[in-house]
Amino acid sequence: MRYKHITILLMLIYTTFSYAQQRVIKNIPVTFNQNWKKNWTVQGNHSCSLDSIHHHLEKYALCIKGNGNEQMTVLSMPPQAVSTEKRAILSLYAKVETSKDSLIIVLSSMDKNEMKLVKNLDWQRFQLELPLSSNSQMVISQIASMSNGSCWVDSVNLKMEKIVYPADMDHTFDCGSNIKFGDISTLQKHNLELLGKVWGYLKYYHPAVTNGMFNWDYELFRWLPEILEAKSLVEFEDIILQKVRNLGAFELLKPSYPNPQDSAIHHIPDFSWMNEIQKTTPALYLLLDSLKYANRTNTIQYYNRVMGGSKNIFPNEKAYQDRIMPDAGFRLLSLFRYWNIVNYFYPYIHSTEWNKVLREYIPAFISAKDTETYRKLIDQLGTELKDSHAEFSRADSLLPHERNPFYLPCHFDYIENHVIVSEVLDSTINLKTGDIVMDINGRKIKKCIKDFRNRISSSNERSYLVSLCLFLNQVQSKENTLGIRREGKKMTSCIKGMDETTYWNIKRELFGINVACNRFIQSDIGYFSPIGNFTNDSISFIMKKFEHCKSVIIDMRNYPNSYMGNIADYLFPEAKACTRTTSVIPEYPGVFRWDNSQIFGKENPNYYKGKIIVLINEKTVSMGESIVAVLQQAPNCTLIGSPTSGTDGAIAPFYLPGGIHVKFTGVGFYYADKRIIQNKGIQPDITVKPTIKSIIQERDEILDFAIRYANAQ
């Protein structure tokens, strides 16, 4: 009965949406010239080269010539993101050398594809059309050949037909918000906190906003002057009531909001902030509460409805990168955007005290005096998540002094309560493994450990120390001094920093595709790590190679090259539910459901029956942890080392005003029985940690123990 009255009320205050839309065609022509490889990636062994003789409309065509091995080569254009695009059209001219040759043209998205076969010996125009929806996510254009002869392609063009909504046509505040804040009173602080929560709720729950009828960033700036002038809480809520009514009517579906007691639901949003409104302004409360049941099936704005087990995508969050130091209104927008995205799309929200965060940060964001302060506030806000995926990245930084273009020619690790040199990349410098680092360029390590806590988000203490060691490795200057302690003696080492190219070339030599990913440690003990030349296709070869070994050691202490879920086919006697995820129900932002359990392995009476030993530590993170969560469920599997990072789930990125790139974990990850891994990490069966002594002796203490364990009866 309550919602029947609400429906009548909404019809009385109905304001017709302005469904003015424009169709815009985005042309992406591809001219084959000397820089053609910037527009294409090539996978395969066919020869691809410019041809100035066999061309059609352009100066050059691209010639794709086979080499006799009949394997496929695929050329791909960069993927094009889909937000409000409704159609993709790929056109090109093509021909083949002989009747035995052919090309395949493919235009695909995440939910459909179109293909055409090229067999003509003369130039012919081909066009593929693909309807797009919110399920499409991205458009990929590809050309594939298995021919031994030559094929030619000319004049490639991709068109993306986009519908531009009123939200996209509102440019009122492109030059600034015009919002000025004086000293914030207690009432204003309270009202701004409540405004941030109402604004975010409407952003994801009101159909007029989710359907692209309003530029919701700019609506905030329209609302703020009146909000700041409100002399009481009741006056503030009356203003909000009128603003919400002005958004227009919406269709109500059958009242049935997800029940948190339902076993299929992980959690629902915390709407306790509405309780205060219910007491003071019941009409506003009823209006807001009814939005839970609004029809949001046409959502196209601010979040991608197709999230499922993949990372969340926020396609229309403008970066406003032209203003490095956003004005006070845009800084408040930055806080509101960050807080609400996390509030409705962070799977581990209940492991934080997120409700308290908004009120605490409002004065700081408003009064931030410069770009550095603003940037640090965003980093500090990320630390509230206790999520290592939310750590700040210097590559994203806007501040020159944070770019740190040089790398120290060594690696650091935190061992026995000290930052120590664990690897030296340049034998000519005065550093040795096991050196205890006391300071870097005069900055004490103990102070660094304290100071970075407000900059580095981490799932736990051990993850924080891993990240800290990585950040300490990057420096601003080429000339550097390290204060170290070696064998009880203090000394200073002068070290030249490496440029990025040199550093990563050395890293590639250590971990790149030329490094073997597997070997025999002894004749009956196999070892492999999913780095170096490892690919998913390596699993069958490795398990065949080690099938007669009494033990296989799998080293998961580095980030893997690829997901190796198919290894369960060789280690499990039968299929088994190992893990599961949680994800947002698109119609109900903030409501996370349990996804189906993820099944690994197959019926295999010839599965590997020897000892499986998996090495783990705090560097076993994200995808690496998800692999270990499967491996540990193999019969006769033992985990050796120290707890893993406790950082699980696909990354969800978005932008904040000032062009700041932010990310966090967007999908929850658990064992199949719903035990959590985030923050806690995966615990070893046998704890073994490196010591400074073993680092000095250049011994891998964990691997050494694993070998002894493998040889034990």
Of 118, 140, 164, the last residue of a domain is 164
The reported pLDDT for the residue numbered 21 is 61
Task: Tell me, yes or no, whether 550 and 680 share the same domain.
Answer: yes
Domain count, the chain: 4
For residue 417, the number of C-alpha atoms closer than 13 Å in the C-beta half-sphere is: 0
Residue type, 692: I
| CATH classification of the domain holding 615 | 3.90.226.10
Phi then psi dihedrals of residue 73, to 5 deg: -115, 135
The answer as to whether 477 is a domain residue is yes
| Burial of 126: CB neighbours in 10 Å, binned 0-12, 13-18, 19+ | middle
pTM (global) more than 0.85? no
Task: Tell me, yes or no, whether 542 and 682 share the same domain.
Answer: yes
Distance CA 32, CA 36 (A): 5
| CATH classification of the domain holding 413 | 2.30.42.10
Average pLDDT of span 289-313: 72
What does the H/E/C string look like for 516-567?
A: CCEEEEECCEEEECCCCCCCCCHHHHHHHHCCCCCEEEEECCCCCCCCCHHH
The answer as to whether 358 is a domain residue is no
Task: Tell me, yes or no, whether 659 and 561 share the same domain.
Answer: yes
The reported pLDDT for the residue numbered 3 is 42
Q: Do 396 and 661 form a contact (C-beta atoms < 8 A)?
A: yes
Which of residues 363 and 135 earns the better pLDDT score?
363
Could you tell me the residue range of the domain that residue 96 belongs to? 22-164
Distance CA 695, CA 416 (A): 11
DSSP, collapsed to helix, strand or coil, labels residue 692 as helix
Number of DSSP helices (H) and strands (E) in the chain, helices first:
19, 34
The reported pLDDT for the residue numbered 168 is 86
- Helix, strand, coil proportions of the chain in percent (round to 5)? 30, 25, 40
Task: Tell me, yes or no, whether 420 and 560 share the same domain.
Answer: no
In this structure, what token pair is assigned to residue 363? 């004065």
Average pLDDT of span 587-592: 94
The answer as to whether 329 is a domain residue is no
The DSSP bridge partners found for residue 641 are 616, 687
Task: Tell me, yes or no, whether 543 and 691 share the same domain.
Answer: yes
- pLDDT tens across 533-581, in order? 888 789 999 999 999 999 999 999 999 988 887 999 999 999 999 999 9
Task: Tell me, yes or no, whether 463 and 572 share the same domain.
Answer: no
183, 376, 469, 550 from 703: Cα distances, Å:
60, 40, 22, 16
pLDDT band per the 50, 70, 90 thresholds, residue 306: low
Task: Tell me, yes or no, whether 191 and 289 share the same domain.
Answer: yes
Task: Tell me, yes or no, whether 533 and 679 share the same domain.
Answer: yes
Q: Do 566 and 536 form a contact (C-beta atoms < 8 A)?
A: yes
- pLDDT tens across 138-173, in order? 899 999 998 889 999 998 999 988 878 898 899 999
Task: Tell me, yes or no, whether 493 and 571 share the same domain.
Answer: no
Of 115, 134, 164, the last residue of a domain is 164
Q: Per mean pLDDT, which range of 100-114, 367-381, 425-439, 466-480 is the poorest?
A: 100-114
The reported pLDDT for the residue numbered 1 is 40
Task: Tell me, yes or no, whether 181 and 140 share the same domain.
Answer: no
Beta-carbon neighbour count of residue 124 at 10 Å? 13
Task: Tell me, yes or no, whether 442 and 480 share the same domain.
Answer: yes
Nearest to 111 by CA among 83, 141, 133: 133
User: CB neighbours of 599 closer than 8 A, spacing ≥ 6?
Assistant: 575, 576, 577, 578
Of 442, 473, 507, the last residue of a domain is 507
The reported pLDDT for the residue numbered 650 is 86
Task: Tell me, yes or no, whether 497 and 542 share the same domain.
Answer: no
